[in-house]
Amino acid sequence: MSTPEKEPREGESVTERLAPHAETIRYRRGQEICRQGEHAEHWFRLVRGVARRCVVRPDGRRQIVDLLLDRDFFGFTAGREYEYSAEAVSGEAAVARYSVRRIHELIEADPAIARAILDLSFAAMSRLQQQLLTMGRITAREKVGNFLVEISDRLPREQNDRVVLPVSRYDIADCLGISPETVSRSLTDLKARGFIALVGTRGLSIVDRVSLREGRHIQAH
Amino acid sequence: MSTPEKEPREGESVTERLAPHAETIRYRRGQEICRQGEHAEHWFRLVRGVARRCVVRPDGRRQIVDLLLDRDFFGFTAGREYEYSAEAVSGEAAVARYSVRRIHELIEADPAIARAILDLSFAAMSRLQQQLLTMGRITAREKVGNFLVEISDRLPREQNDRVVLPVSRYDIADCLGISPETVSRSLTDLKARGFIALVGTRGLSIVDRVSLREGRHIQAH
DNA sequence: CGTATCATTGAGCTTAGTCAAAAAGTGTGG
DNA sequence: CCACACTTTTTGACTAAGCTCAATGATACG
């Protein structure tokens, strides 16, 4: 097999093949890309900005199931309808949209496309599992620490390994199933302990990646 | 499209097509089906009993990422290695095992197989998302209530809508990221409030499915 | 430059974790 | 069939973590 460790190469080739079939659509912050319950006739790929895939609960609370960054695919469903909504987070977001029917035709015509799409779905599954692992941590501090490490690995680095958080504390809270206040307190805490450094409200650099990943944050204040 | 609402039919036909390529293996309770970090050369389908897909954390705690019941597929990975272990829960479990390489060949040969496998992976993703939503609930009582509803929907019904929980309280705790004591307390509580009925330690019937799903459990004792 | 959103911090209260022990099942061999 | 050991489950008491409500500061945006 000549497939490399990660899938930039195959990813590229599929999107090249898929490109002629894509419509690109722009969204402003908060606009819906797809809606929970709606007939699922498209798959999507984020080509600019940031989006969130979320579910609204009966009690009105929102849970973010998947944070979508540049080049992430989404829109896969087991049934006929979307089981979640997706909306733009950043002011300027754009998605490439593919007709599911059309893609099924492409699959019929070329099994290589099928393989590639399977890999895309595995990538989405892997994100989901990572999210699950982060949420499964015990303390809020661990959840936040782990979240920061995970997202900073997916984000482009500025100088000094600095990244810019693409979401608000509220979004982080909705990702982790904790309150925004607790997110804020955990950040302050992780900073005070020297695990991370904050630059303004959105700038972040991870100082002690290993400890954050392993969750060994000495307790007590 | 002639595909029905859910996928028993397509599911059947794929597994029929896949059957000649499967090895069936039996496992006793606690035995490993695949191991985290191991080269991922097989996909699996549980054909008997119950299994759990889990991740062991640096701190030694175990998190169950996916409970596997009869006919569930698993073993999908984004990279080359399994990102989790899977092990038999019940004394007598059996899995059908498929070579990934062989399946890739089948995909090359027949796009219908490709489509079907894509659907299987979407089903796995859907379970994962459901798991995430259950874990995202706020209170332990809600988590447990939701877990019971979800699993009872996947389990075969005995008389009176009764189901038999296939896992211990410890496993439930590891699924939900809470302590076993809290699982036990939540069960006692849900029973006292009349949302569920317990028969012995494993027998369960859901009395008020809607309330459990929506998470409206009036608080205070 | 004002207004809305987002972020931080504080105080009190509730929930769930921990440690510990008792009770209820389960299985084994005599 | 019963006794014994082992595992699983339940319950209690205590502690600590995080949620809620509330107020103040900071940022971003028109």
Q: How many CB pairs under 8 A join A and B?
A: 129
Q: Where are the alpha helices (DSSP H) in chain B?
A: 8-18, 100-109, 111-136, 140-154, 169-176, 180-192, 209-214
Q: For B121, which of A61, A65, A125 is closest by C-beta distance?
A: A125
More confident residue, B10 or B188: B188
Residues A193, A207: Cα–Cα separation, whole Å: 10
User: How many Cβ atoms from other residues are within 10 Å of residue A20's Cβ?
Assistant: 6
Distance CA B161 to C1' D28 in A: 55
Cβ atoms of A40 and A105 within 8 Å: the answer is no
CB contact under 8 Å between A59 and B214, yes or no, is yes
Pick the residue from chain B with its C-alpha nearest to A174.
B136
The structure's pTM equals: 0.90
pLDDT number for residue A1? 42
Q: How far is the CA of A214 from the C1' of D26 (A)?
A: 33
Mean pLDDT of chain B: 89
Mean pLDDT over residues B47-56, rounded?
93
Is the pLDDT at A10 greater than 70? The verdict is no
pLDDT for residue A130 is more than 90: yes
Cβ B53 vs Cβ B124: under 8 Å: no
pLDDT tens-digit series, residues A144-184: 999 999 999 999 998 888 999 999 999 999 999 999 999 99
Strands A32-34 and A163-164: unpaired
Q: For strand C, give the nucleotides within 7 A of a protein CB.
A: 6-11, 14-20, 24-26
B121: contact with A, CB 8 A cutoff: yes
Query: Chain B window 27-66: which residues touch A at a Cβ cutoff of 8 Å?
Result: 55, 57-59, 61, 63, 65
The reported pLDDT for the residue numbered B188 is 96
d(C-alpha B160, C-alpha B165), whole Å: 15
What are the two backbone dihedrals, phi and then psi, of residue A111, each rounded to the nearest 5 degrees? -60, -25
pLDDT > 50? residue B7: no
- Position B216 scores a pLDDT of 74
Burial class, B36, CB count within 10 angstroms (exposed 0-12 / middle 13-18 / buried 19+): middle
Indicate if the pLDDT at residue B61 is higher than 60.
yes
How many helices (H) and strands (E) would you count in chain A?
A: 7, 11
The stretch B121-146 carries a mean pLDDT of 95
* Average pLDDT score, chain A: 89
Q: What is the mean pLDDT of residues B91-115?
A: 90
Contact B132 A131 (CB under 8 A): yes
- CA B191 to C1' D8, in angstroms, rounded, equals 19
Q: Which residue's alpha carbon is at the shortest distance from the C1' of C7?
A: A184
Separation CA B21–CA B11 (nearest Å) = 16
State chain A's maximal CA–CA distance in angstroms. Answer: 62
pLDDT higher than 70, residue A6: no
Residues 6 or more apart whose CB falls under 8 angstroms from that of B202 comprise: B164, B165
CA pair distance A196, A202, nearest whole angstrom:
12
Residue A111 confidence (pLDDT) above 90: no
Q: Is the pLDDT of residue A202 over 50?
A: yes
Determine the pLDDT at residue A203.
94
pLDDT exceeds 90 at position A110 = no
Residues above pLDDT 90, as percent of chain B: 72
Contact B82, B53 (CB under 8 A): no
**Partner-chain contact B78 A137, CB within 8 Å:** no
Nearest to B21 by CA among B126, B115, B110, B123: B110
Question: Range with the lowest mean pLDDT among A12-26, B29-43, B108-122?
Answer: A12-26
Mutation pick from B54, B125, B178, B213 vs chain A, by most beta carbons of A within 10 Å, is: B125
Contact A63 B136 (CB under 8 A): yes
Identify the CA nearest to B64 among candidates A135, A77, A83, A177. Answer: A135
Among A25-39, A175-189, A207-221, B185-199, which is the least confidently predicted range?
A: A207-221
Cα B101 to chain center, whole Å?
25
pLDDT interval class at B92 (50, 70, 90): confident
Q: Which residues contact A159 (CB under 8 A, 6 or more apart)?
A: none
Whole-angstrom distance, CA of residue B217 vs CA of residue B183: 16
pLDDT on residue A12: 56
Å: B161 CA to D11 C1'? 29
Quick check: A136 and B135 CB within 8 A?
A: yes
Contacts of A123 in chain B (CB under 8 A): 78
Among A15-19, A87-91, A174-178, B26-30, name the one with the lowest average pLDDT: A15-19
CB contact under 8 A, B5 and A80: yes
Please, which pLDDT band fits residue A57 given cuts at 50, 70 and 90?
confident
Region A184-193: what's the mean pLDDT? 96
Question: Does any strand D atom come closer than 7 Å to the Cβ of B201?
Answer: yes
Query: Is residue A7 very low, low, confident or very high in pLDDT (cuts 50, 70, 90)?
Result: very low
pLDDT over 70 for what percent of chain B? 92
| Whether the predicted pLDDT of A53 surpasses 60 | yes
Whole-angstrom Cα distance, residue A129 to residue A145? 17
- The minimal CB distance from A125 to the residues B6, B125, B137 is found for B125
**What tokens appear for A153 in the block?**
């690995």
User: How much is the pLDDT for B91?
Assistant: 78
Ramachandran region, residue A168 (left: φ > 0; alpha: ψ -120 to 50; beta: rest)? beta
Residues A88, A34 contacting (CB under 8 angstroms): no
- Residue tagged 């499209």 (tokens): B1
